[in-house]
Chains A and B, each alone.
Chain A
Amino acid sequence: QLQLQESGPGLVKPSETLSLICTVSGGSISSSGYYWGWIRQPPGKGLEWIGSIYYSGNTYYNPSLKNPVTISVDTSKNQFSLKLTSVTAADTAMFYCARGPARIRGFDIWGQGTMVTVSS
């Protein structure tokens, strides 16, 4: 059974880079027909799609985000990662990684989420 697990620092200073890793177990991140995405949720608020990477390596980012974002994949470790630069307190959120089958055009398997606080 496929599982996703987010990992990374729970506290990041303002202006620094937020870096998270999503480890995929129970299946290959290189399987065709899947996107691998990052979604965040500020405390008490709704969901915001950050970006996705396709199994082929193509990346897609939310154009509404103010900060530069980079999503990359490490097939040797069955992981994909998120880098969000120049963070501010407004970037404080629960961050989820998720699998997105192309046929569903959404996310069917999610990690449990990791809380990241931006504070000095």
Chain B
Amino acid sequence: DIQMTQSPSSLSVSVGDRVTITCRASQSISSYLNWYQQKPGKAPKLLIYAASSLQSGVPSRFSGSGSGTDFTLTISSLQPEDFATYYCQQSYSTPMYTFGQGTKLEIK
């Protein structure tokens, strides 16, 4: 099984900050990595697929990078609506998926 590890588990940040979240795979997954945003009480929302492709309708302040085992999600200038939990998901073994444990963005 492919394990996904996110860091940090939580992050205290302020509006306007540049935020970077890391996701590491237990083996190479090429660029088969997706990112989701989940707000409390809501279903997850797809942000980035194939490591760096922005899903339709997602603001351009969100970007993804990486390949192999190491990936990052970057929010260039954090907005109030971006406080949420973010999950990575490997799709190398599609359609058998694994999610990371999540990274919660909290208000500093």
Contact = CB atoms under 8 A, between A and B. Distances in A.
B87 A106 contact: no
A63 B98 CA distance: 11
Given A105-B32, A112-B43, A46 B99 contact: yes
B102 A46 contact: yes
Given A37-B95, A46-B101, A106 B1 contact: no
A80 interface: no
B76 to A, nearest CB: 22
Contacts of A112: 42-43
B99 A110 contact: no
A106 B34 contact: yes
Contacts of B64: none
Q: Which of A102, A104, A113 has the most CB of B within 10 A?
A: A104
B46 A96 contact: no
Interface string B81-100: 00000010101001111111
Interface of A: 35, 37, 39, 46-49, 52, 54, 60, 62-64, 96, 98, 100, 102, 104-108, 110-113
Given A47-B44, A106-B46, 18 more contacts: A47-B36, A47-B102, A49-B89, A49-B99, A63-B1, A63-B96, A96-B43, A98-B43, A102-B95, A104-B49, A104-B91, A105-B34, A105-B91, A106-B91, A108-B49, A110-B44, A110-B45, A112-B43
